[in-house]
Structure 1
Amino acid sequence: MDAMLLIKAAIMGIVEGLTEFLPISSTGHLILTGSLLGFSDDKSKVFDIAIQTGAIFAVILVYWQRLADTAAGLGSDARARRFVLNVAIGFLPAVVLGLLFGKAIKAHLFTPTVVASTFILGGFVILWAEKRPQSTVKIQDVDGMGPLDALKVGLVQCLAMIPGTSRSGATIIGGMLLGLSRKAATDYSFFLAIPTLIGAGLYSLYKERALLSMADLPLFGVGLLFSFVSAWICVRWLLRYISSHTFVPFAWYRIAFGIVVLATAWSGLVVWAD
C-alpha cells in the first residue's frame, strides 16, 4: 500500500483520538483534515467512522475497573443494573434517529461550511453553559442519574448528528445544562460513547462493505492504532483537567477555528473540498 496513504491514515487517527472526547467535534476535524489531505472520498468516510472504535478501546482501558465491576455485579448489584440501563436508554435515541436521518445528513451536511458554522455556534453554547451558577447542579456522579436523566442526555446526543456539533460536547454540555456536574456529565459521555461509537463503526463497515477489501486492512489498522494511542492520552488528560478547569478554552477554540475556516473559504485562500 502507498506509504503516503498510510501517513494520511496515521494523521487522521491522531486527529480522531485527540478530538473524539473533547467538546470540539472529531467529525468536524476529520472532515476538515480530510479535505486538506485529499482524503475525502466515500471510502474515507467509512474510515472516519471505523477508526472511532480505536478511540473507544482507550475509554474501555481507562474505565476498565468500573466496567469489569459492573459486568460482575449485574446479577446481584442494583447499582450495576441501573448503570447499564441508563447507558442503554441514552444510546437508544441515537440508534433510532441515526437510522432515520443518517443518510440524509451525510449527503447534505458533511461540508466544511456547515462544520465551521456549528463550531462557532457550539462555542457560544459552551460559554453560556459555563456561566450558569453551580447551584443548578443536582447530580454529582453517574450513579445519581435516573432513567429520565439518561433519556434527556441521549436526546441531546442526537444533535451531534450535525457535523461540527461534537458528540462529546453535546452530551457533556447538555448534561451540565440538565443538572449534572461537570464530572458526572463527562463520565456519562464516555460511557455512552462505548455503544454509540462501536455501533456506528460496525454498522458503517457492514453497510459499505462493498467499498472495502482485504487490501484496506493496513490503512484501517494504522488509523485504529493511532486513534487508540492518542485517545488514551487525551482521556487521561481530560479527566485530570476537569477537576480544576472549565470548558471555556474549548469554546474560544471552537469560535476561533470556525471563523478561520469560514474566512479562508470565503477569501479563496484555502479550497475546502465538500
Structure 2
Amino acid sequence: MSHLTYTEAVVVGLLQGVAELFPVSSLGHSVLLPALVGGRWARDLNVSAPESPYLAFIVGLHVATAIALLAFFWRDWVRIIGGFLTSVRDRRIETPDQRLAWLIIFATIPVGITGLLVEHTFRTVLGKPVPAAIFLALNGGVLYAGERLRRRESRAADRAVAASVGSTATDLALASDRRLAGLSLARGTGIGAAQILALLPGISRSGVTMVAGLLRGLSHEDAARFSFLLATPVILAAGVLKIPDLTGPLGDGIHGQVLVGSVLSGVGAYVSVRFLTRYFETRTLTPFAVYCVVAGLGSLIWLGVR
C-alpha cells in the first residue's frame, strides 16, 4: 500500500492550512496538486480512493486547522460559549453574545446535516481532478459575482469599517461581533447554509460564506469574521468524527507524517487568519476570484494535454 512521504506531508500540510481559510478551496487544491505533479504524488494523495492513507492524513490537518482558529478567536469563543450557557440558564436571548451563540448554532445545522448525508458521495464521485478544476474556476466566478452584486448596504458597511481602522484589535473584534449579533436568525442561517456548496471540491467554504454575507449587507470584515467563526465548529467536527480513520488501519505507518503535516497546517492556518482578518478591513475578494479562474482553467488545460 502506498504511504505518504514527509515531503508530501510538508507541502500538503502547509497548503491545507492556508487554502482552508483563503477563499480558494483547500479540498480543490488537495485534489488538483497531486494530479498536476503526477507520479507517486497522484498515487499517494488520492482523496477519492476509499482506502487511502491520505484520508487519515486529512483528518489530522482538519483538527489542526480548527485548533488554530480556536487559538486566534479564543476571546470570542469565551464570550460566545459564556453567552450560550447564560442563555440556557436564564432561558432568554438578550445580549449580543447570547444572540451570536445561537446564530452560530443554527447557521451550522444545514451544513452539518448535509455533510453527514452526502460528504462521502461527493468526495468519491467528484473528488477527481477534472471536476475539481471546473469547480475551482466556478468558485472564482462566484467570488467575482459576489463583489459585483453586493448590496449598497454592504458598501456602506465597508466605509464604516475603514473609518474605524486604527482602533485596537480588541475593540474592532467586539464591534464586529455586535454587528454580527444584529443579524436575523433567517439571514444568519442562510449565510451558514452557503457552506454546503463547499462540499464540492473546488468551492471554497470561506469564499461562498463571505459572498452570502456580502449579499446580505455585511462588510468584508464582518463577512470574513463570520465565515471563520462558522467554519471552526464545522471543521473541528469533521475532523473529530473521522479520528477513527487516523487511529485505525488507514493511519498505520503515517503517524509521523500526520504530526508534521498537522503542525504546519496549524501554523499556516493561524498566520492566514491573522493576515485575512486585517486584509478584509480594506480589501476585496477580487484578487482571489481572478486566481481561482486562472488556476481552474489552467489546470483543465494542463490535465487535457498531458
Contact 1:54–1:224 (CA under 8 A) maintained in structure 2: yes
Q: 2:64 aligns with which of 51, 54, 60?
A: 54
- Would the alpha carbon gap of residues 182 and 208 (structure 1) be closer, same or farther in structure 2, given more than 3 Å must change? same
In 2, the alpha carbon distance for the partners of 1:195 and 1:6 equals 29
Q: Which residue of 2 aligns with 1:40?
A: 45
Q: Hey, what does 2:107 align to over in structure 1?
A: 90
Q: Does 1:75 align with 2:86?
A: yes
Separation in structure 2 between the aligned mates of residue 260 and residue 152 of structure 1, nearest angstrom: 32
Unaligned runs of 5+ in 1: 269-274
SS at match of 2:290: helix
Whole-Å Cα distance in 2 between the matches of residues 45 and 28 of structure 1?
Answer: 14
**Contact 2:136 2:296 (C-alpha < 8 Å) held by counterparts:** yes
Aligned residues: 267
Offset, 1:106: 1.4
CA distance in 1, matches of 2:142, 2:249: 38
- Which of 219, 240, 256 in structure 2 is aligned with 1:202? 240
Measure how far apart 1:24 and its partner are.
Answer: 0.4
The change in CA–CA distance for 1:108 and 1:159 in structure 2 (over 3 A counts) is same
CA distance in 1, matches of 2:150, 2:33: 37
Counterpart contact for 1:50–1:204, Cα < 8 Å: no
Is the aligned partner of 1:107 residue 2:114?
no
Contact 2:137 2:292 (C-alpha < 8 Å) held by counterparts: yes
Equivalent position of 1:65 in the other structure? 75
Q: For the aligned residues, what is the CA RMSD?
A: 2.3
In the alignment, does 2:147 pair up with 1:130? Answer: yes
Contact 1:9 1:223 in 2 (8 A): yes
Is the contact made by 1:12 and 1:34 (CA closer than 8 Å) also made in structure 2? Answer: no
5+ long unaligned stretches in structure 2: 47-51, 88-93, 158-175
Instruction: Name the structure 2 match of 1:18.
Output: 18
**Identity of matched residues, %:** 27
Matched residue SS, 2:206: helix
Question: Structure 1: which 4+ aligned runs deviate by more than 6 Å?
Answer: none
My pick for the range that moved more, 136-145 or 43-52, is: 136-145
If you compute each CA radius of gyration, which structure gives the higher value, 1 or 2? 2
Secondary structure, in 3 states, of the residue corresponding to 1:51? Answer: helix
The whole-number CA distance in structure 2 between the counterparts of 1:18 and 1:89 is 27
List aligned pairs for 1:121-270, cutoff 5 A. Answer: 121-132=138-149, 134-137=151-154, 141-206=179-244, 210-213=248-251, 215-268=253-306
Instruction: For residue 281 of structure 2, give the secondary structure of its aligned residue in structure 1.
Output: coil
